[in-house]
Every structure is written in structure tokens, then in C-alpha cells.
Structure 1
């Protein structure tokens, strides 16, 4: 009987061909993956335009509103890709949430915050950046808002591409300012307000970083460096959860319930204290039960902080959706109002369909493009664990409360990323301090801090906060307003020159 078995070299040829096919398949998938995100984004923007055409009908201005809705959808996508990462990054970096889980939670809570608690009135000129009376012609006002919308979206898109978390609110502020200057000169800008916003560039991250570092120092002193870590955790973790619940309750009462009832700072703080105390009473026995059987080491502490960290990330997303999304769709709402009534106003109501574009846009942007910035904030600036990430989330809520009390406009992006920097720089300072205080070798100190020991020369080169990311982010923050303003001014002149 004849042997039909192929010779060995024939098998080698087949294997080589299969490997080529596999390589081609992998290459095709790698190329196609970004195209899927681009295709879905384009489809969403087209649907936003169609929705605007269906829900808005004023003779002569339909085309303008449809175009504004498309750019509004583009802006919302960029918010999801950039801004939302700051809320979820620490939880993902600390391994309290998977990337997929973070995306699902953020999408749900951002949308819920925008649709349920989003302010129904927004300043169309971004908190008084320009004087509406200085832009006398309604058509010029529409082009100014259109330029602000396009420029801010383009700037946030560029920042996401280079891996820099920036403030979308500051991007809108810069866009409005630049369009206002191009339309009516420098006198149209409210410079004292701009000065306050510029001060917030420094105050937001420094305050957020200081509060996060202070809580990390407290956790180290009261829990991590105690002989009986579990007993210390039973005592203090419920207190920290109570502070978190109290801070978020006051924050949401102050910022997230504007549509239902207006609450002043004093009432919000009372609500926060009451709900914080309730949270302490409820969680104390739960933490005690959860800690039973845990070993007396730092790894066990991470278990106790994981669930509160997930809850805080969800609440941050809800609060962000309730506030920042309304600011982002403000220029779109201004265009809709001016097109419908033939006039402009300092404040307008946001139509439901405009808020829907903002809510769904951030969800799509997060799912399609958010992982890059989530990884950046969560793991590439400094190493985070649940305790450190919890400090970042807690500082974000407290900083907003303090800033609101002082009347300072702050950026949630700057606060959250500043909190990550604060935790990282505190770890650097703390390790050097322990070396001097205890006389430890650098290798022993690194091991004590949970860091892989490195040779002396490499240790001098490396820091616990990556300086390259630090400088990139700071530079992006500094140039956000002037870059968006310059871009907006150019776009306004082009629009007004072509269509004016």
C-alpha cells in the first residue's frame, strides 16, 4: 500500500504559510481596531445631527444647529476619552477595578449624572468670560460659540492623542475667550474672571495633591505602621468611609441637585455630616466582619479599601456627569437658543436632546478611546494601590467642597491628577525621610516601601513619580487656555469670513 504521508519539508512549508496568515490576521486586527472607534464615532456624530434636525425646526437656522450638534457630539466624545479617565484611573491602577468594569461603571454613572442631576441652566458664555453685549450681532455670537465648540474639541482631542489629561472646562473657557477677542476685541473679555480661573490652575492640583498626601500620611501613621494593622483598620477605615460619604453627599447636594432644589453651603455640609455619620455606623460592623481571618500585613489592608474605592470612583463619575457635561454642551445650548429666539442671553435652558448628546457622547468616547488615559492616570504617573487611590478619590471630593466654599473655579481633572502627583511625591519624600530617620540602607528602605530595590545609580535616575509625564501634563495645563483661545480666534475669523 502506498504511503501518502507528505514529506517533512511539505509540513514546514504549510507551517510557514499558516504563520504568515496568522501574522496577516494580527496585523489586520491591529489596523482595523482604531478604524472601528473612528467609524462608531462618526456614526454617533451623524446621528446627533439627524436628531438635531428632527427636534429643532426654525426656518433658516436648521443647518447651523445641525452642524453645532455634530460638533457638540464630537466634543462629548473627547470628554469621554480624556476627562472621565481621571475618575476611573486610580481605581484601575490600584487593581480595584478591571479596565472593562471601570468603563461600564463610568459610562453608567456619567450618563446618570448628566441626565438626572445635570443643571438645567448653564452659562452660555462659560461663567461670564465675555460680555454678551459686546457681541451685538446674533449671527456673530453664533459663530463665536461655534468656534469655541470646535476649538475646545480639537484641543482635547490633541491632548488625548499625546496622552495628557487636560481640563475640558478650561478648554471651553479658552475657546470662548478667543472667539470673544476675535469678535469684539480684548475689551469683551472679563479679565478678573480670567485671572481667577488662571489662579485655579495652581490652586486645584496643589490643593488636591496636599489633601491626598495628608490622608496617605494619616493612613500610614494610624494603620500601616501599627503593630496590629487589622485592629487599626477596624478602627479607622469606617471613619475614612464616613468622611468619604460625607464629602460626596455635601458635594452632590451642593452641585448635583440644582435641578430639584437649590442648596446653600451650610445646608450641604449639614447633609454631609449626617450621612457621613450614618455611613460610619453602618460600615463599622461590616468592616469588622470583613477583616476577620485576615493576616496582619499590608496586603490584607488592600481588601478593606477596594470596595470603598469602587464606590468613590462611581460617585466621582456621577458628580462629573452632573456638572462638567453641562459646561461642555453650553456653547451648543447657546447656539440653539440664539437660533430659535434670534437673541442671545447670559443663561439659557439646555434642551433634553442636547443633554442626551452630551451623556451618550461621553459614554461612547470613554468606551472607544478612554483606556489610554485611564492607564496613564492609573499606573504610568506613579504606582497606586487601593489605599493611595482612595486618598486621591477622597481628596477630589473634599477639594471641590473647599473650593466652592472659597468661591474658586476648579477643574476636576486638575484635582484628580494633582492628587495622584501628591501621593507620588509624598512617597518619594517619605522614603527619603525613613532612610535618614532609621538609618536604613536604600535597598531596605525600598523594600519597606513596597518598591523593587534598584542599584544606586539607577535609583538616582528614577523617581516614584515619572518626571516625563509630570512635565508633559503641566505643560498641557499651562497652554490649554491660550492654545484653545488662539485656535478659536482663527476658526471664528474663518467662519465669519466665509459665512458672515
Structure 2
């Protein structure tokens, strides 16, 4: 019974994670008009699933970190109620954020839930030093680093584009305007005539690039690189997030790590397919408008940072890194929406205490029932 409850809790967390996080890797593809929502979420699902399977071989350190080892005594780690409280605390926090369209960090939710359940169980014996050094520091530093790197990378790419004489091309809006010819005698008028008014479109216009590199269209090259970079980000997210959830299953040897990874990967994919659109709209359209070149730059920085962190066992948030990268681009173009960024950062601040409170209450409740 306790194993089934733990498995359901972990799957609920995986589903919520997929709903809130799966689209983040391809948000720039949709936001820049490179592809539509359906193709974007399909590409995200395939590449995230691949990253989840790769985690079996590459992300063992993260499994250990998110089992709670070193934060709380080993005997508590072997308590299934502890794992269930963490999974449900984080899952409910992420699920609520998904329903309101806020892209929060599952990593942050798990850290908060680890703290809440752990502190409720052992109080002051909780290892606060490891919590700060291993978990909180990477979560704070990563979005700032992503914003700075994407800012610098885009300036570099823009300089290269201008040197190679690749120019931006936009679209124009043509509208009819009617006027009436009048003579000097205002009482007399001639027939109405129609003129065409040409202006630069402000909405529903995807900015493209004109020019060639090695005889190939610059826009075609960029679109290919953009799809590849989105795939890298989604792969990195699967690689980074899957072991964090599996860590909750393996701490009591409830499930073999390989089967755990596969179960989490499938449930995560379903969450993204069924419930990702609201958060996807926020990430794609509301932080800053972007073209394909800007989207590619943000994805490249996100993919590099998250993949590097996963291999070294650093629990960074793909959400924080991705939002930081997109915001860095918006800072260069001066089109970032500060109100949306404020709401997102506020949701990040609330994630940890909300997850901690929920998991602490659940631990107390389950301990008295089971």
C-alpha cells in the first residue's frame, strides 16, 4: 500500500513537471513564429523523453542529491512517508502554478518540500549548510548567469551578422485610404479616390533574415539551428529533472532506477502533451517578443548551462535558466515586459515556502494516519 502511494505521488509530480516545464525548451520556436504550437510540443516531447532515458547513464549524482542524503539522517530517508510528503508537496505547488500559467521551478519545489518535510521530522538537526551550498546557491546564480551570457552572446552574434551582411527583413502592412478631391470652391467636389497607405506592421509579423552563408539561405540555416537548440534544451531538461523525481522512488528501494526513469519519462511526456499550453503562452509570448535569431541564442545558452550542470550534479532549474536567457535577449532589444518578469520572479519567491508548508503538513498528517 505504501509503495503504491509513493509511486502515485511520484507520477503526479512527474505529470505536473511535464505540464509546467516541457514546453520551455521550445518556447522560442513558438514565440518567434518558427513553428506552430503542435509541432513545437511534439518536438519537445520527443527530445525531453530522450533526455530522460539518457539520465539513466549520466545523472546518477542528482538521484543521490534529491534522495535527501546528507540533509537528513539515513533512517529518515528510509521512511516512505518522508518521500511521499516531498513528492506531493512539490507536485501540488507545481500543479497550482501550472493552472495560473506561471513557469516555476520543479527543482525549487522539491528543495522546498525537502526542507519542509525534513524540518518537520527532525527540526534543528536538518543540514542547513548543505541545503544552501548544494541546492540554493545554483538556483540563485543560474538565472543571473544565463541572462548575462545570453546578453553577451546575442551582441556577438548580431555583430557577426552585420559583418557578413545578413540583414533583417520585416513585413509591411498595406491599407486602403479614401479621400475626396475638392476644388478651390469648397462647395464643389470631385469623385472619391482610393490611395494605398504602406506602414511597417507592428503585429502578426515574423521578422526574417535576408542573405546567404556559403550559398545557403541564412534563414534556413538559422531555422535548422533553432530547432536543434530547442531540442538540446528539452533534452537537457529531461536529463536534469527526471533523476530528481526518481530519487524519491529509489531511496527506499521501491523501484529499480531504470524502471523508475522510464515511468517518470512517460508520465512527464503525458503532462506536457495534455496541460502545457498556458505556461507555454507565458514563456513564448509574454516575456519578450523575439525573432528566430534571438530565440536560437537564448536556447543555446540554456542548453549549455543546464547540460553542464546535470553532468556535474548541480541542481539548477531549467525554468530559471530559460527565463533568464530570454530576459537577457529582451534586455538587449529593450522589449522585455517588466510586469511579467515581476510576476514570474514573485512566483519563484513563493515556490519554496509554499512547497515547504505543504510537505510539512502532509508529513505530519501521514505520520498520524499511516
Shared fold (TM-score, shorter chain, > 0.5): yes
1:358 is matched with which residue: 264, 279, 283?
Answer: 264
> Following the alignment from structure 1 to structure 2, what is the Cα–Cα distance between the partners of residues 157 and 144?
20
1:468 is matched with which residue: 335, 339, 347?
Answer: 339
Higher-Rg member (1/2)? 1
Q: Kindly state the Cα deviation for residue 322 of structure 1 after the two structures are TM-superposed.
A: 2.2
Q: Kindly state the Cα deviation for residue 424 of structure 1 after the two structures are TM-superposed.
A: 0.6
Q: TM-score, normalised by structure 1?
A: 0.60
Cross-structure match for 2:364: 493
Query: CA offsets, 1:373-409, max 9 Å, x none?
Result: 1221111110011111011111113334676799854
> Following the alignment from structure 1 to structure 2, what is the Cα–Cα distance between the partners of residues 361 and 202?
28
Cross-structure match for 2:235: 318
Gaps spanning 5+ residues in structure 2: where? 168-211
Q: Kindly state the Cα deviation for residue 181 of structure 1 after the two structures are TM-superposed.
A: 0.7
Cross-structure match for 1:153: 91
Going from structure 1 to structure 2, the CA distance change for 1:373 and 1:208 (only over 3 Å counts) comes to: same
Q: For residues 158-197 of structure 1, what are the structure 2 equivalents within 5 Å?
A: 158-197=96-135
2:48 pairs with 1:110? yes
Q: Kindly state the Cα deviation for residue 129 of structure 1 after the two structures are TM-superposed.
A: 5.7
Q: Kindly state the Cα deviation for residue 176 of structure 1 after the two structures are TM-superposed.
A: 1.4
> Following the alignment from structure 2 to structure 1, what is the Cα–Cα distance between the partners of residues 124 and 29?
43
Whether the 8 Å CA contact 2:19–2:98 is kept in 1: the answer is yes
Secondary structure of the corresponding residue to residue 56 of structure 2: coil
Q: For residues 95-494 of structure 1, what are the structure 2 equivalents within 5 Å?
A: 95-119=33-57, 121=60, 122-123=63-64, 125-126=66-67, 128=69, 130-133=71-74, 135=76, 138=78, 141-223=79-161, 225-226=162-163, 228-229=165-166, 287-291=213-217, 301-335=218-252, 337=253, 350-352=257-259, 354-400=260-306, 409-428=315-334, 464-494=335-365
Whether the 8 Å CA contact 1:381–1:465 is kept in 2: the answer is yes
Tell me the C-alpha RMSD between the 2 structures: 2.5
> Following the alignment from structure 2 to structure 1, what is the Cα–Cα distance between the partners of residues 67 and 326?
28
Going from structure 1 to structure 2, the CA distance change for 1:192 and 1:479 (only over 3 Å counts) comes to: same
> Following the alignment from structure 2 to structure 1, what is the Cα–Cα distance between the partners of residues 67 and 336?
34
Structure 1 stretches of 4+ with a deviation exceeding 6 A read: 404-407
Q: For residues 49-88 of structure 1, what are the structure 2 equivalents within 5 Å?
A: 63-88=1-26
Number of matched pairs: 323
Q: Kindly state the Cα deviation for residue 325 of structure 1 after the two structures are TM-superposed.
A: 0.9
Q: Kindly state the Cα deviation for residue 199 of structure 1 after the two structures are TM-superposed.
A: 2.6
Whether the 8 Å CA contact 1:212–1:419 is kept in 2: the answer is yes
> Following the alignment from structure 1 to structure 2, what is the Cα–Cα distance between the partners of residues 392 and 206?
13
Pick the structure with more strand per residue.
Answer: 2
Query: CA offsets, 1:107-166, max 9 Å, x none?
Result: 112122212443474216446462233638x4xx21111000000000000111122111
Going from structure 1 to structure 2, the CA distance change for 1:381 and 1:125 (only over 3 Å counts) comes to: closer
Q: TM-score, normalised by structure 2?
A: 0.80
Query: CA offsets, 1:229-271, max 9 Å, x none?
Result: 27xxxxxxxxxxxxxxxxxxxxxxxxxxxxxxxxxxxxxxxxx
